[in-house]
Chains A and B, each alone.
Chain A
């Protein structure tokens, strides 16, 4: 399932995928795969992404049932 919340949060901060990838220490492809829902990041990576985007885990990675 696509992670639209993460994409929106990234765009709100005017960050490219490459820039966000640089900030959290992964490749641009990994960020792309997370946003497109084709890769499940580890908890540590989720936390790093949340810190970079100034959001909480709930904001970006909670799935509404």
Chain B
């Protein structure tokens, strides 16, 4: 069990979500004040910023609880670091990714067949195609990176 590692990871997520949330919030507010319309409604950016900000708040509460009461948080930490649970979570994540990839493929195929006039024309079609290609490519890239990391650590 490595509580220091958990604390470090929690801090990293807290800082990154807080940064993203603040950037989005400030961007939305500034664009709203200056009346600059990069998207239709700047309030949408302000609204979306609450998602990363809420996440950062949750991780802040988690961090405080770990630092103040490490014994009480021990069970929670063990649940996050137990190798069996991590393996199960990774398997579930992999299956979820496969399901989402299949759904994306079905969406793309359906969209292409049902609305052929959008092929090469619509932004939505291009986005779907890009996401599909990225989803296939990213697996190979991450696998290559993992192999490289495990070889370099030897």
Contact, CB under 8 Å: B85 / A41: no
Count chain A residues whose beta carbon lies closer than 8 angstroms to a beta carbon of B.
13
Chain B interface extent, by class: 10 to 19
Inter-chain CA distance A41–B85, complex, in Å, is 12
Contact, CB under 8 Å: B84 / A25: no
Q: Which of B35-43, B75-83, B125-133 contacts A (4 or more CB under 8 A)?
A: B75-83
Inter-chain CA distance A22–B79, complex, in Å, is 11
| Interface check B1, CB cutoff 8 A | yes
Chain B 1-40 interface 0/1 with A at a Cβ cutoff of 8 Å (1 = within): 1100000000000000000000000000000000000000
Contact, CB under 8 Å: A42 / B85: no
- Smallest distance from the beta carbon of B47 to chain A beta carbons, Å? 39
Chain B 56-86 interface 0/1 with A at a Cβ cutoff of 8 Å (1 = within): 0000000000000000001000110111110
A-B contact pairs, 28 of them (CB 8 A): A21-B78, A22-B74, A22-B78, A25-B1, A25-B2, A25-B78, A25-B81, A25-B82, A26-B78, A26-B82, A26-B83, A26-B84, A27-B78, A27-B79, A27-B82, A27-B84, A27-B85, A29-B84, A30-B82, A30-B83, A30-B84, A30-B85, A33-B84, A39-B84, A41-B83, A42-B83, A44-B83, A45-B83
A-side residues, CB < 8 A to B, are 21-22, 25-27, 29-30, 33, 39, 41-42, 44-45
B-side residues, CB < 8 A to A, are 1-2, 74, 78-79, 81-85
